[in-house]
Every structure is written in structure tokens, then in C-alpha cells.
Structure 1
Amino acid sequence: MNQYISAGYLWEELKSNRLAKYGAVTAATAISLVLLRKWIGGGVCKSRVRLDGKTVVITGANTGIGKETARDMAKRGARVVMACRDLTRAEKSAAEIRMSTGNGNVVVRHLDLASLYSVRHFAHEYIATEDRLDILINNAGVMMCPYSLTEDGYETQFAVNHLGHFLLTILLLDLLKNSAPSRVVNVSSIAHKGGKIHFDDLNFNQTPYDSLVSYRQSKLANVLFTRELSRRTKGSGVTTYVLHPGVIRTKLGRYVEMRHPVVSALLSAPSILLMKTPKQGAQTTIYCAITEGLEKLSGCYFSDCKLMEPAPEAKDDLAAMRMWDVSAKLVGYKEED
């Protein structure tokens, strides 16, 4: 009898030790995951700046980090203009933002960055109906989409991610100057590193189209545009910043999912742990838009709410000037515009 009692006691002890070890491992794993998520989440904009009386324009504000940026600007009291292609989704998002922030001064206007006509129409209508523009956030974009040309005949990623925003910014530049101090914030990507501007083949007419090569080109163009815009607006009261938001759980990567569904499914679970939420991804945009004292860093590149070093290719002043001249020619911009 004592043997059975001893054996049972020992078994219970073993189970208890195993459970204790299992519990310790589980707790350690949970803590590690929390710390990992906090690290992946990156920096947080801690500024309490209010934007009452200010007007903010955000492209692609109906979803993802654009929507979270719009929500934050609205919370701070700004008049928020959501410039979006899909008006139905945009109106739904605007209604949600009005309700969650208590700010009824959130409006939607149509903007299709794949159409230079649409960009011009938006800008002209904005200038005719609005009296100021304090912050322009060029947020919208497409990522690694299949090869296609816009109605203007330009490769889609380069047209949407760069050319549309380039034209929009220069058309609104006088209003930005009149509202100074004002800011232009361009959402780029760490993918600009390794990118190259194919000045002689921007549309991939001479070389096979590669969606990643095209995406990197468009994101490098964002950084070069920011650098040259900063040089051209020096002393005007307009400052400009470019940023990498992080790897975000948004619909931006939908084309990758469509083309490689099996890979996407296999990676989806672990990738969730390694990606920022849209709210986390919006933090650097918000930081660049409102943080006081950034004026001396106009033209610079940021990530995780910190000043970062861009790729060497992004610091080429001659390439930046050439990018401006080529872009102006492609969009048909002249000084009298």
C-alpha cells in the first residue's frame, strides 16, 4: 500500500513540476511576444499639439494608415480633407471618424492619382473652395501591382506613388506658402534602398517589367522629390519630410496575395506578429506632420518617429533635380500652372 502511495505521490510531483515548467515557459514566451510586438510597433508620436483652425489634406485616407492618420488629425481639431478614389468607402470611413472623434469637420473629395486630369481637378476645386492648407500628407499608394499603364500612358506604380503626388503638391504649393508655416509629408518606404531611377526607361519599355523594381523606383522617387522640394521651398515657411511607416497589416499588399496565394497563406500567421497595426504604422506620419522643432530637418527621412539615414542614392542632389525636371515634363507642369 505504501508503495502505491509513494508511486502516486511521485507521479503527482512529476506532473506538478512539468506543469510548473510548462507554465514558466508559457509565461516567458508570452512576455517575449509582448516585448517583440512592442519593438515591432516602433516609435509613438507623443506630441499633444492641437490643430484647431488648421486644414489637413490626406490622400488615400479611407483605409489603413491613411485612415488612422486622418483620425488622429481630427482628434486634434483639424479640418480634415480625405482625398480618395473610392468615394463610397471614403464616406463610410469619414462618418466613422466623425463619430469616434466628435469632429464633424471631416470631408471627402474625389482624387484618383492615376489620372493627371483628376489631380488637376482636385487641386483647382480645392483652391477655389478652401482658404488654407497647413499640412499635405501624400499617403496613398500601390504596391507591386501587375504591369499596366495609366490613362496618361505611365507605368502605374510610378504614376500613382510619385507622379500624381508630385503634381498635386506643386499645384497646391502657393496655398501651402500662403498658410505657412506648413508641411508636406511624403510616405515612402525602406524599399527605396536598393532602388534606382531608370530615367531612360521609366515605363519599362526596353526591359522586362519587375513589380518590385518598379516599386523601389517609385519609393526612391518619393525621397528624391522630398529632397528637391525642400531645397526649392527653403525660406518660404514650407517644410517637407519623407518616411518609412514600417511593414503594416493593410491591403497594400493585396497584389502579392493575389499572385502568390499559397505563399501568402503560409506566411499569414507568423507575418501578423511581425507587422505593425495601421495605428502603429501611422505614428511616423503623424510625428512628421505635427512635431514642433522639425523645421531644421526639412528634406530628411524618418522611421519609427526618428531621423534615419536614407540610401546613398536618395542623397544625390543632381538626381533629385533631374527627377524634378523629368516629373514636371511628364505631368505637363509649367510655372504658370
Structure 2
Amino acid sequence: MAFGFATTGDEVVEAFKDRVIGKTFLITGPTPGGIGAETALSLAKADPKRLILAGRSQQKIQPLVEQIQKEKPNVEVSFVQVDLASLSSVRKSVDRINSVLAGDKIDVLILNAAIMACPYALTVDGFESQFGTNHLGHFLLGNLLLRGDLVRSRIVVVSSSASERKADYAFAPLKDISYDHDKKYDPVQAYTFSKSCNNMYARRLARELKPKGIVVFSLNPGSIITNLQSYMTEEVRNLAIEAAKRENPEFEVPVRKTLQQGASTQLCAALDPSLEPESGAYLDHCQVKEPAVHDGHAAFADQVWELSEQLVGEKFPF
């Protein structure tokens, strides 16, 4: 089956159900109405052993837990509290995840949670919130799980088409991740930076994990209406389109996807065996994509990794 723009998450899971049944998946940020939750619902249909749903608020995610338990009572569903904007919370969550696993491993780790184009704010550790939540929290979570030998085969990092910008724009905040303490903050560029860091984390991690046989992908899920867009006022949307046209000569306003279509690319990244030789790649519409504007991004992979190690206060030599 040829997967593309219109492919649904259910179609991907049906095609690779043998890679779901009896397996354990962890998804961050599976808030109902978002692509993380849609991914969990699609996976549940193929009888995984366990779904671990990691998020800030049990109250928000509990309806999803109950829906899966009702529809697929044989699937073990667990909520694990984690606030990606708190490095302490991330560290504590690893112990909780280890407890839920009870000696098992995560077959596929899906780093899906994100915030988008929000007003300037700091995480509890003092980092700009989009960078701290979208990249740094996931960097620490993924690496701690790997250090504990808790991931078996795949890591999926959900990025965005917002990463498809010229390298000097996408990585300019590396010079000052505080944005001069808000004086030079641009919510659109900060989102691009966080998502470009997601891609570089996946690229560097793929290199690190090659000897272990664990594959890693980043991806653009597409343009989907979810609560992620809660800060996308008309003004911010116009700024985003202006930046996209300026920083990507090939930019076209994306056609909207449904939630099911939006879940498909991360499910391909999680399940499709034909992608294994492409570890480290960026996917779009379920396929490997190499945007011309990504030329030059790879040069920042090591810098992003080393800065992230410095900020979380730990080295991760895999």
C-alpha cells in the first residue's frame, strides 16, 4: 500500500498490526482531540500489550484512558504524570515509567507533546517555554529512558513543517536562548527553533543508537486543527506565514488534514519496517522527505546536543 497525504492512522496500523500486537508504546502529550490521542486510539485497535500515556494532567487524559479501556479491555493502559517544562518532573517520571513496565521495555517511544507560538514564558528551570517543553524535556526523557535500557526498537520525535526554514533563521536562537530576556522574543521563530532542535535530536540520536539497532525518526504530522493552535491568533498566523515565505522559497500554505490523517505519519515512523535503513530521517506524508531548506541544518546537530546536555546537567554518551 502506498501511503501519502490522505492515509489514516487506522490504515497504517492495519497494515502493520503484527508490529503492534503484544507491544508496548509510550506517547507523550496524548490530550483528547490531539494527534497523540488519535495515535493511541489507532494503536489500541491492533491489541498492543500496553499503552503508557504520559502527560501533565491526569484529569485531561483520563477520558482517553477510559475510552481505550472500554473499547479494548485487554489492553493495559497507564497514565504517567510528566511535566516536560520541569526537568525534575521528567526525572521523576522515569521512575514511574519503570514501575509501570515492571521489567518490560518500551517498544516504541513517541515524543509527541508540544506547545506552539505562545507568549514569552519561562519553564520552572528558567528556559524559554517552547524550547524547554518541546525539545529539552523530550531530550532528557528520551535519554534517561535509553540510559535505563528501557527502549527496545524505535523513537519517534514529532516535529513540524515550521522546521522547514533556512538554517540561519531556524538556529539563530542558539546565540541567545533567552531572547534577550523577552526583548527579542518572536513566538514564531521560537517554535521553529524548538522543532528544528527536535529534528537535530533525532538525527544525532540515530547516529548514537545505530550500534544498538534502535531507529529514530522526526516528522511533520501536517496541518491539523487541535488545541495546539490555541495561541494562533490571526496576527500570529500572519507572522508565521510571512516568516515561512521569507525563510523557505518552496513554502506553500498547507492543506488541512483530519486527526486520523495527522496521526498517520508518526504511526508510519513507529511501525513501517521499510523505513529502518533511513534512521535519522525526517518524514512527511508518511514518506522520507529531504526539504531543500534543511540543507545546512545537520551542521547544528552536535551543537544542539551539547547545549542540551549542558542545560540538563548530564552527559549522555551512548
Normalising by the residue count of structure 2, what TM-score does the alignment of the two structures yield? 0.83
Secondary structure, in 3 states, of the residue corresponding to 1:147? coil
| Equivalence for 1:48 | 16
What is the distance in 2 between the residues matched to 1:118 and 1:309? 35
1:213 corresponds, among 176, 184, 189, to 189
What is the distance in 1 between the residues matched to 2:65 and 2:158? 21
Q: 58-67 or 48-57: which moved more?
A: 48-57
Alpha-carbon offset, residue 224 of structure 1:
0.8
Alignment check: 8 A CA contact 2:143 2:316 kept: no
| Equivalence for 2:45 | 75
What is the distance in 1 between the residues matched to 2:135 and 2:127? 11
What is the distance in 2 between the residues matched to 1:107 and 1:137? 15
Alignment check: 8 A CA contact 1:74 1:103 kept: no
- Count the aligned residue pairs: 289
Secondary structure, in 3 states, of the residue corresponding to 1:294? helix
Gaps of 5+ in 2: 238-253
| Equivalence for 1:304 | 285
| Equivalence for 2:211 | 235
2:145 corresponds, among 172, 196, 199, to 172
Q: 304-313 or 72-81: which moved more?
A: 304-313
What is the distance in 2 between the residues matched to 1:336 and 1:189? 27
Alpha-carbon offset, residue 335 of structure 1:
4.5
Structure 1 residues 155-198: Cα deviation after superposition (integer angstroms, max 9, x where no partner) = 000011100000000000145x5653x10001001110225222
What is the distance in 2 between the residues matched to 1:155 and 1:258? 23
Gaps of 5+ in 1: 1-38, 262-272
Residues 241, 335 of structure 1: CA spacing in aligned structure 2 closer, same or farther, 3 A cutoff?
closer
2:178 corresponds, among 203, 206, 223, to 203
2:64 corresponds, among 75, 93, 98, to 93
> Is 2:201 the counterpart of 1:225?
yes
Secondary structure, in 3 states, of the residue corresponding to 2:110? strand
Residue pairs, 1:124-139, within 5 angstroms: 124-130=95-101, 131=103, 132-139=105-112
Residues 75, 307 of structure 1: CA spacing in aligned structure 2 closer, same or farther, 3 A cutoff?
same
Residues 319, 224 of structure 1: CA spacing in aligned structure 2 closer, same or farther, 3 A cutoff?
same
Alignment check: 8 A CA contact 2:309 2:315 kept: yes
Q: 142-151 or 118-127: which moved more?
A: 118-127
> Is 2:228 the counterpart of 1:252?
yes
Alpha-carbon offset, residue 278 of structure 1:
1.3
What is the distance in 1 between the residues matched to 2:95 and 2:292? 35
Residues 336, 281 of structure 1: CA spacing in aligned structure 2 closer, same or farther, 3 A cutoff?
closer
| Aligned amino acid, residue 214 of structure 2 | V
Q: 312-321 or 61-70: which moved more?
A: 312-321
What is the distance in 1 between the residues matched to 2:27 and 2:292? 26
Alpha-carbon offset, residue 106 of structure 1:
1.2
| Equivalence for 2:30 | 61
Secondary structure, in 3 states, of the residue corresponding to 1:58? strand
> Is 2:82 the counterpart of 1:111?
yes
Alignment check: 8 A CA contact 2:5 2:285 kept: no
Alignment check: 8 A CA contact 1:145 1:255 kept: yes
Alpha-carbon offset, residue 52 of structure 1:
2.8
Report the aligned-residue RMSD. Answer: 2.7
1:156 corresponds, among 129, 134, 139, to 129
What is the distance in 2 between the residues matched to 1:298 and 1:260? 34
Q: 283-292 or 68-77: which moved more?
A: 68-77
What is the distance in 1 between the residues matched to 2:184 and 2:45? 46
Q: Which has the higher contact order (CA 8 A, sep 6+)?
A: 2
Secondary structure, in 3 states, of the residue corresponding to 2:26? strand
Structure 1 residues 213-243: Cα deviation after superposition (integer angstroms, max 9, x where no partner) = 1000011101111110011111202110010
Structure 1 residues 291-327: Cα deviation after superposition (integer angstroms, max 9, x where no partner) = 1132101000101111111454465444101110100
User: Which of the pair has more CA radius of gyration?
Assistant: 1
Alpha-carbon offset, residue 287 of structure 1:
0.7
Residues 189, 249 of structure 1: CA spacing in aligned structure 2 closer, same or farther, 3 A cutoff?
same
Alpha-carbon offset, residue 283 of structure 1:
0.3
Residues 196, 71 of structure 1: CA spacing in aligned structure 2 closer, same or farther, 3 A cutoff?
same
Normalising by the residue count of structure 1, what TM-score does the alignment of the two structures yield? 0.79
| Equivalence for 1:141 | 114
Secondary structure, in 3 states, of the residue corresponding to 2:47? coil
